[in-house]
Amino acid sequence: MTVDVDVNRAQDPYGEALERFAAELEGRPAADVLRWAAGRYAHRLSLATGFGPEGCVLIDLIGRARLPIDLFTLDTGLFFEETYALWRGLERRYGLTIRGVAPERTLDEQARAHGDRLWEREPDRCCRIRKVAPLEAELARVDAWITGIRRDQTPQRAAARVVQRDAKFGIVKINPLVDWTKKDVWRHIVEWDVPYNPLHDLGYSSIGCRPCTSPVQQGEDDRAGRWRGSAKTECGLHGSATVPCRGVA
């Protein structure tokens, strides 16, 4: 998997505009980037959150500034109880709605079609049904989306820009925290008393669905607890493809 930054210039006829936005916004506070995005993309803009620390920071910035940005989460039906509680807590705290986007198939329907506990046998297919397909449907309705990815999270994300073409979905991807470190994220959470998932205090550094998430040991990579024991490291939400970009004009 690669982050398609150079595609901005190489394949996208609007790449120059994105390059200019990225250059202008590089190093700007995340709140400014969000304000810019809300102004530029208005009702054709969404934030997808999985309620990680970065998502909580973005919701805090959006909520306190009262920015009119659509918020949603891909509700696989398999979140931890703590994650569902955090979802409701964030809505209460900031007086906003975070839409739950459900997969086309319920867990029972998925089990009938593909067998029980698909995540143990075919996690890619399970993520495809419960996360990637619903995300594709949501992003087909917008010109830009906001994510919480940071350059220091994975080697694939190291070249991410604050604004870039998302070649996988053919829209613009805005990464307001791209130059933040993990420490920056937690400093913001503490400073602004932002609600976060209490499982982080129990050794869970990256939290996804209950069956595919475990705590990490000291010295392990932050994402080592996701799909432990398998080669899988990503849901497939951030990746590469070659769809023409819309939403730049």
> Which residues of this protein are in contact with ligand SF4, per CB under 6 A?
76, 78, 119, 123, 126-127, 130-131, 208-209, 211-212, 235
Token digits of residue 218: 């000291």
Segments of 42-199 assigned E as strands: 45-48, 70-74, 99-101, 144-146, 163-166, 171-174
- 126 in active site: no
- Kindly tell me which of 97 and 233 has the beta carbon lying closer to ligand SF4: 233
Cβ contacts of 119 within 8 Å, gap of 6 or more:
78, 126, 209, 211, 212
Q: Exactly one of 126, 127, 209, 235 is catalytic; which is it?
A: 235
Token digits of residue 207: 């939290």
- Kindly tell me which of 33 and 135 has the beta carbon lying closer to ligand SF4: 135
- CA-closest candidate to residue 34, choices 5, 59, 11: 59
Q: Answer for the pair 57, 65: CB distance below 8 angstroms, yes or no.
A: no
Amino acid at 13: P
Minimum CB distance to ligand SF4, residue 114 (Å): 11
Q: Which residue has the tokens 């973005």?
A: 58
Minimum CB distance to ligand SF4, residue 44 (Å): 27
- Kindly tell me which of 21 and 87 has the beta carbon lying closer to ligand SF4: 87
Which residue sits closest to ligand SF4, CB atoms considered? 209
- Kindly tell me which of 26 and 221 has the beta carbon lying closer to ligand SF4: 221
- The C-alpha atoms of residue 31 and residue 212 are separated, in whole angstroms, by 32
Minimum CB distance to ligand SF4, residue 132 (Å): 9
Minimum CB distance to ligand SF4, residue 70 (Å): 22
- The C-alpha atoms of residue 81 and residue 85 are separated, in whole angstroms, by 6
Cβ contacts of 193 within 8 Å, gap of 6 or more:
none
Catalytic residue IDs: 235
